[in-house]
Amino acid sequence: MSKYTKDPDVIANLTDEQRWVTQENGTERAGTGRLLRNKEPGIYVDVVSGEPLFASSDKYDSGCGWPSFTKPIEPAHIAELEDRTYGMVRTEVRSTHGDSHLGHVFPDGPQDRGGLRYCINSASLRFVHRDDMQAEGYGDYLNQVEEI
């Protein structure tokens, strides 16, 4: 059994924007996310379940207005679903255990790093600084986070 779950108490304590994005498939306005310009070393976890999703080492500035990553830190924690909303065909990404809407993945990322761009809402993420990862139970991922 996973230690990461969709906890109703956590959901009840989300901000309005976090709830709208993660539970109602919302999208924050481009350029407004609190983690967009974060360049600190660490990992990004699901704001609902805490499951590790992305490493700062895989974050890059795509210019799209949302935090962008080349790959998940733990592929099993990302579910990809077809999204046909708004007259488009896209691939939605959700956290596996928290079932949080995170954003979308597109095939226009850096070719030398796999070619994918995980375009993720800041409101769906909680950042854990490298210095706090061990204490917060994410020590197994330290080797995937570069020191600055």
pLDDT computed for residue 47 by the predictor: 97
**Does residue 38 belong to any structural domain of this protein?**
yes
**Does residue 1 belong to any structural domain of this protein?**
no
124 is in which domain, residue-wise?
Answer: 8-144
For residue range 47-85, list pLDDT tens digits in order. Answer: 999 999 999 999 999 999 999 999 999 999 999 999 888
Give one word for 40, left, alpha or beta, with left for phi > 0 and alpha for psi -120 to 50: beta
What would you report as the CA-atom Rg of the chain, rounded to the nearest whole angstrom? 14
CA–CA gap between residue 7 and residue 81 (Å, rounded): 22
**Does residue 3 belong to any structural domain of this protein?**
no
**Does residue 106 belong to any structural domain of this protein?**
yes
Amino acid at 56: S
pLDDT computed for residue 2 by the predictor: 67
CB 21 within 8 A of CB 101: yes
**Does residue 81 belong to any structural domain of this protein?**
yes
**Does residue 2 belong to any structural domain of this protein?**
no
Burial of 60 (0-12, 13-18, 19+ CB in 10 A): middle
**CATH number of the domain enclosing 117:** 2.170.150.20
Q: Which residues are catalytic?
A: 119
Mean pLDDT by 10 residues, the chain (148 residues): 85 97 96 96 97 97 96 96 86 97 97 97 98 96 86
pTM, two decimals, is 0.94
**Does residue 117 belong to any structural domain of this protein?**
yes
Phi, psi values for residue 94, rounded to 5°: -130, 155
Q: How many domains does the chain have?
A: 1
